[in-house]
Structure 1
């Protein structure tokens, strides 16, 4: 090909204005149109003073070796941008190019130095350096009037150039530019290494396409529940399963992703056995035959103090050094007999049994000194889940293990906390770690589609850690996954944002709901100042977006039903918390206005939405659990709102939240042990082990005086804690024992002046019976005590005056003449008013107080759901509701005799 030909192809004006990528446009040049953001963040981007638009006809110059996957992406982008005709010519067909390009047409050159000769000439004419010398996967991408050039240092680089081209020309037009780009980390990707149900075949195919789009180049196939990887590692795959793996390998190749097959023999392998070594090699060969070129032998999550065969004990001895020697022996044989005999294979990887921390040990010493240096060692950081990974730690890991390090990063994996989604960004890794690592693979969630948010950000970090901005990257991930529904997805994701990684990296407690949290703080502060309206309006707007999120996201992401199915329970809960939050705000504002009836009505709606949210269940390894969204934010806010409102109504305002380490049997949820109704109950899904806990969280440390716990039930009277202790704590760390627990009914006084936030039973002995807790009640010294008598008969008569507005006395029939409900205190006291909180407005009654002569004085009528009547300071110990005959059966949440405030 002649230089003359390329000059004819590119307008002279382009040659005059084109500059090297690293040199900015002259100050006199016209401002360049803005460029679309490229992800992952490129290393060098130089805008030029021009604009390139995709026309209807495009000439595409390719080489015989141009990467077909890159070419497919380029063609897809061109057609989506409006190119109806793409004329393909080869890089040695000058006549065809001259004939087809037309006057002022667009010519696209695709292929790096190993793929096409023409692209190099085009870059030279643009006075741009080619990709030679860049790291593997590096590329140069340039566009100016009439020419676009995509040139990778290798075929992967050209493919990545195509992915950047896709983003820049999504609208069909872009400002002119020059990009010189390369990845900082050689290996960047994902390891499917979690416990639980593996991803489906469709999940994996979609993931591999996603890795290609986000320039990640590694996928490790290591699902713990594939029996042919662990329990049956010696067995060959059945043909139908091998065919599925073959499809994955082909899809990985098309996306320039290294498919690593990780075989885990540690549960049963005999390290010294020729037969087991042969079984490993034979298994690897079966995968090689379908195209796998990368292999790993993980030896994690096994015991190295127990041999699987006597021969290993005889050959290696005992202890950590012996385990390291045995594992090195086996790995070295596989390296020698398989890896070294297969040209084109990638380096062997292993996960050591001591796969985290930096402390040297006899085991690590054995690996460092005996394991073949060609083997890559995987490491999780200074913990199984590392809050931070620093440049210094990465360097030390390489020194301690004596091998190149590939980090197995346990984020966003949620197999240890499956009631949560971890949708926040990748954080806590210093940019310099890439200098000392072979790369990082992120261990994802069980939810494949939802994992893409964190995976997007980890891929961005690994490509260009020096310019990584987790907040911007996270928003880009939301836009990438959500498309038009990105605003709704953002609301959902930020209420499933926090994780153990966040807490470890920041040293702070849960940081979920980063937008809602400050809005709530501002609202409480404004409420305290009695001027809550502006803060309430801002908060309500966000809560409205939460409430509508299920509908908005299901409509906006209807094209991704897999994602919607994965997150459905969490999405519904976010919506219900949004609804409950809006009712909470209205309730509190109504009380500021003195509108008790509205406040009580809004309270009912709040409790209804909260109960629905807390009734949702997701399967976990510990049994069905309530999904955890808006963690540490929504439920505490709603409980605080209810407590604040209840104090306004005249109640003590204690809102205990149930806590337990046990699972839940069917729908007998923990909330039922604090609902004030002894007929409902929490029921564990198994017998508790030693150390299991059941208790309540009062929300804040406060004075407590007494604890009542009712366990067991008539149909299973032995379902209670048979050996345990009752204890309390202000911080959840230091505990004070009150008494031993051996019976189903517990009544205990706490020491005078005791303060607690947490009260619990902790089991101290093994038992075969499950546990039923009907009520777990904590009283304060100031909690008023009442007895309730009267008719009509009904369920839970005591609930009418138990200081709990959520419990309910429900009469079984309509009242007859003379029926009445009497609330009696422990001693007479002056009353300023009487408040009656009814569950419905159907029943009517005269509200009466006992006078000093033993008679009754009517102070007004109960009507509607909320009744507030002045008592004019009368001193009495009895309040009576004298029912009007007929009408609806009464349903009373609380009768509240309110004393005047203390001076």
Structure 2
């Protein structure tokens, strides 16, 4: 047979970009005469290995002839038929040969549909004979479409690619640009392991996931839900018939989608490795599900103790220590491998998860396992770390070397059981090209508790698994969003906006990269910034949840994401209010800006109020856009402070990561029941720091660490230090073994920063309930006396969020006085009060001769008084007798 040579102009790379990215290609709408109806080929995902355009095309006819042999894959036929009907065909009929005027579609590889070989030959396309397993060839052109797989799975994957190539129309006549695809996976095992803790997936969600895996060419699903007690706590017990029936349905759905259903039994909590009864119980349990059609089995031994035996017999047989645990586990697994896997023809190689699954460090445990475990057993590994930020070719090779077995990567992304307050919707990232080939087996991804929301990141995982050589995280992420929006442009824009503020994770360092970039451009432009672009982006965030609720085709995503959608909408409101605050302040609209500033805390609190209910029924506040949305509101308030001429609230700093929502700001909130909590153990040099925002005279310092329930989470050895510039530090005191530390700075000591720095590493995390630094600023005296929980100093501490609240109404000639520490030229005095404050006062300044001069009367929440540059040593508010108890947020002297 003579094959038509491929034109040089149709080289794979350029054509693949044209088809995948939607750029005009040869034979596309960009080249067609007006009215011909051609359009650029749609995206195909996962990205094919080799895709080329042709200069011909096909038209979807009212009736389409489907040519398929008796052995043609049923799943491929079903997908192909539905794709043709969705493309506008009125009917698809089976036939043996082409019919004039009709589109003919051939489905099946050489062992399924022999006629397909002739159709490919007529198109000048080579068949799949030289392709790896699961590879396929798809040809479109000259009134025919041919799908030919290396095997039935390959034909099924060809049908999935055809589904994406064909247009969606209500009637026939759609034009499809000619194309030739030769495609195959670079990773042999590709899929998902349902291995998270927390709220489990429903049976319906699992069935839907299996459909999704087939659509995205993933070929394995590992059934390991922690909610199934018959996998862990009650592993010896047989399944009730109703649960077996559900599992059978899952197995059958998986088989129809060319997904290998893997059953993972976890006996480690109670198994006696040397017990013949337990070995038989394990193999008997596998036997009970064999009849369901399950052919792949795993024995996870993760998240258990390997220094404590479950029976004395194991200690008597192997002794103690990690090497003994490795030998015992190898013994159990080898028995399962020989007694069950080897005696069941068609069973896939046994898989196992070691107790040391998270690194490549040589150890006695790994050595024993490597040397004693049967060589055909597959070892699962999570990378360097339980959640590995990066996984490289070198690390994969090291895993192969240290375990001396084929490696199946159990990749803990996008799993969120360790951060149940967050959705992780960013792309699969940090995995080096070529890494899967070094593993020797494949990749499985551990998804979120939210099955439908997991689909976005899992699409990018599937893209990497199939063709890691050309994988680009951001491109794949944008493609996934577009496909999930199902052609709805408004839904796509809203989904990208929502996913952007739920982007960061251990493998995606930046949160909200799109919105953060827009915010950065706004701040970089300074006072001349045009807020329109940023306001448009924030308005998009505010409106995105409603768009998704109304327009997203898969509404289960909305159900999964409900509290995060609510929070995103509220953050849109809060950040737009913060942006308006900046504009008002910069425009000199002092009263309006102050009114806006007072509204902001309630809007932020509302955005933080939405909760997720975990498996124990606890209400967990959800987090959206952490470090971007909240920071923008803080930065907007700081800009208002700058315009006012005040320093702003004291700020907490740390180099330690934060556990869930226990941010460093909580150590400064005056509430001993809230706390900062680190997300790792404290190492030498780690610190928590108080930024006083300007140099101030400091006095007593108090550091309260630890909390009920984790009393040992404190810095065991450290030093208290202060600095004026954040670079050069002076020691105040050392501490050791005490959760509460106090010290007093020498009289006259000035500092902007005060920190506690660890001088030794430890295994415990760090909790700081309160870190208080006494400062001595402008003196505030007089009255009326403050109410409980308030203080006179709050009236002039540089923080407009702290409020002096009087305990009673003023008495005759009572005044609140702010001494400036010496005479200075004053241009103006601004008095800020909480909304609704009505106490009346004369605002007076004291000249150098000691006389008081009235500059105006206090009225309303915001009042600015012109002084004109006179030398002033003090400001006072001379109260009128009676009325309401005074409240002052800040007396600002400029």
User: Alpha-carbon deviation of 1:826?
Assistant: 7.0
Q: Could you tell me which residue of structure 1 aligns to residue 48 of structure 2?
A: 42
Give the one of 566, 573, 581 matched to 1:572: 566
User: Alpha-carbon deviation of 1:520?
Assistant: 2.8
User: Alpha-carbon deviation of 1:860?
Assistant: 1.1
User: Alpha-carbon deviation of 1:135?
Assistant: 1.8
Distance change in 2, residues 1:828/1:723 (3 Å): same
Using the alignment, how far apart are the partners of 1:563 and 1:728 within structure 2? 50
Secondary structure of the 1:448 match is: coil
Distance change in 2, residues 1:720/1:804 (3 Å): farther
Q: Could you tell me which residue of structure 2 aligns to residue 476 of structure 1?
A: 479
Using the alignment, how far apart are the partners of 1:273 and 1:524 within structure 2? 67
Check the 8 A contact 1:385/1:409 in 2, yes or no. yes
Give the one of 617, 627, 630 matched to 2:625: 630
Using the alignment, how far apart are the partners of 1:636 and 1:521 within structure 2? 12
Distance change in 2, residues 1:792/1:307 (3 Å): closer
Q: Could you tell me which residue of structure 2 aligns to residue 588 of structure 1?
A: 582
Check the 8 A contact 1:663/1:684 in 2, yes or no. no
Using the alignment, how far apart are the partners of 1:106 and 1:689 within structure 2? 62
Distance change in 2, residues 1:560/1:85 (3 Å): closer
> Where do residues 613-762 of structure 1 align in structure 2 (5 Å cutoff)?
613-618=607-612, 625-657=620-652, 674=668, 682-683=673-674, 698=691, 705-706=698-699, 727=720, 738=733, 748-749=744-745, 752=749, 754=751, 756=753
Deviations 1:433-459 (A, max 9, x none): 232331100112222222222211111
Distance change in 2, residues 1:476/1:764 (3 Å): closer
Q: Which moved more, 1:847-856 or 1:464-473?
A: 847-856
Q: Could you tell me which residue of structure 1 aligns to residue 352 of structure 2?
A: 350
Using the alignment, how far apart are the partners of 1:23 and 1:413 within structure 2? 45
Deviations 1:348-386 (A, max 9, x none): 111122223333333333333322222111122233222
Secondary structure of the 2:843 match is: strand
Q: Does residue 865 of structure 2 align to residue 869 of structure 1? A: yes
Q: Does residue 798 of structure 2 align to residue 803 of structure 1? A: yes
Q: Which moved more, 1:841-850 or 1:600-609?
A: 841-850
Q: Which moved more, 1:792-801 or 1:112-121?
A: 792-801
Q: Does residue 66 of structure 2 align to residue 60 of structure 1? A: yes
Deviations 1:657-697 (A, max 9, x none): 59999999xx999967745xx6x7644799x9998999776
Q: Could you tell me which residue of structure 1 aligns to residue 33 of structure 2?
A: none
User: Alpha-carbon deviation of 1:79?
Assistant: 1.7
User: Alpha-carbon deviation of 1:599?
Assistant: 2.4
User: Alpha-carbon deviation of 1:113?
Assistant: 2.0
Q: Could you tell me which residue of structure 2 aligns to residue 456 of structure 1?
A: 459
Using the alignment, how far apart are the partners of 1:699 and 1:139 within structure 2? 65
Deviations 1:566-621 (A, max 9, x none): 32333333333333333333333333332322322332233332222234444569
Secondary structure of the 2:125 match is: coil
Deviations 1:547-583 (A, max 9, x none): 32332332333x4343223323333333333333333
> Where do residues 486-497 of structure 1 align in structure 2 (5 Å cutoff)?
486-497=492-503
Q: Could you tell me which residue of structure 1 aligns to residue 205 of structure 2?
A: 203
Q: Could you tell me which residue of structure 1 aligns to residue 251 of structure 2?
A: 249
Q: Could you tell me which residue of structure 2 aligns to residue 514 of structure 1?
A: 513
Using the alignment, how far apart are the partners of 1:185 and 1:721 within structure 2? 43
Check the 8 A contact 2:667/2:675 in 1, yes or no. no
Deviations 1:525-566 (A, max 9, x none): 321xx4223xx3332222222232332332333x43432233
Give the one of 143, 146, 154 matched to 2:143: 146
Using the alignment, how far apart are the partners of 1:720 and 1:703 within structure 2? 33
RMSD after superposition: 4.3
Check the 8 A contact 2:27/2:178 in 1, yes or no. no
- Scaled by the length of structure 1, the TM-score of the pair is 0.83
User: Alpha-carbon deviation of 1:392?
Assistant: 3.1
Check the 8 A contact 2:663/2:676 in 1, yes or no. no
Secondary structure of the 1:48 match is: strand
Distance change in 2, residues 1:793/1:191 (3 Å): closer
Secondary structure of the 1:449 match is: coil
Q: Could you tell me which residue of structure 1 aligns to residue 524 of structure 2?
A: 525
Q: Could you tell me which residue of structure 1 aligns to residue 32 of structure 2?
A: none
> Where do residues 136-535 of structure 1 align in structure 2 (5 Å cutoff)?
136-172=133-169, 173=174, 174-436=176-438, 437-483=440-486, 484=488, 485-502=491-508, 510-527=509-526, 530-533=527-530
Deviations 1:151-195 (A, max 9, x none): 212111111111111111133542011111111111101111122
Distance change in 2, residues 1:621/1:835 (3 Å): farther
Please, which runs of 5 or more residues in structure 1 have no aligned partner? 1-14, 503-509, 899-903
Distance change in 2, residues 1:689/1:153 (3 Å): closer
**What is the number of equivalent residue pairs in this alignment?**
844
Using the alignment, how far apart are the partners of 1:846 and 1:840 within structure 2? 19
Distance change in 2, residues 1:473/1:433 (3 Å): same
Using the alignment, how far apart are the partners of 1:296 and 1:720 within structure 2? 38
Q: Could you tell me which residue of structure 2 aligns to residue 9 of structure 1?
A: none
Distance change in 2, residues 1:662/1:127 (3 Å): closer
User: Alpha-carbon deviation of 1:847?
Assistant: 2.0
User: Alpha-carbon deviation of 1:701?
Assistant: 10
Using the alignment, how far apart are the partners of 1:546 and 1:706 within structure 2? 45
- Scaled by the length of structure 2, the TM-score of the pair is 0.84
Distance change in 2, residues 1:668/1:132 (3 Å): closer
Using the alignment, how far apart are the partners of 1:787 and 1:721 within structure 2? 40
Check the 8 A contact 2:28/2:177 in 1, yes or no. yes
User: Alpha-carbon deviation of 1:105?
Assistant: 0.9
Distance change in 2, residues 1:720/1:802 (3 Å): farther
Q: Could you tell me which residue of structure 2 aligns to residue 860 of structure 1?
A: 856
Deviations 1:315-358 (A, max 9, x none): 22333333222222211111111111212221111112222333
Q: Which moved more, 1:137-146 or 1:195-204?
A: 195-204
Check the 8 A contact 2:198/2:614 in 1, yes or no. no
Deviations 1:219-249 (A, max 9, x none): 1111234221112111111222222212211
Check the 8 A contact 2:722/2:751 in 1, yes or no. no
Using the alignment, how far apart are the partners of 1:689 and 1:271 within structure 2? 33
Check the 8 A contact 1:424/1:474 in 2, yes or no. yes
Distance change in 2, residues 1:552/1:823 (3 Å): farther
Check the 8 A contact 2:481/2:492 in 1, yes or no. yes
Give the one of 535, 538, 541 matched to 1:543: 538
Check the 8 A contact 2:810/2:885 in 1, yes or no. no
Secondary structure of the 1:588 match is: helix
Q: Could you tell me which residue of structure 2 aligns to residue 8 of structure 1?
A: none
User: Alpha-carbon deviation of 1:460?
Assistant: 0.5
Distance change in 2, residues 1:556/1:823 (3 Å): farther
Give the one of 59, 62, 71 matched to 2:77: 71
Using the alignment, how far apart are the partners of 1:333 and 1:722 within structure 2? 47
Distance change in 2, residues 1:200/1:887 (3 Å): farther
User: Alpha-carbon deviation of 1:282?
Assistant: 0.6
Secondary structure of the 1:416 match is: coil
Secondary structure of the 1:653 match is: coil
Secondary structure of the 1:879 match is: strand
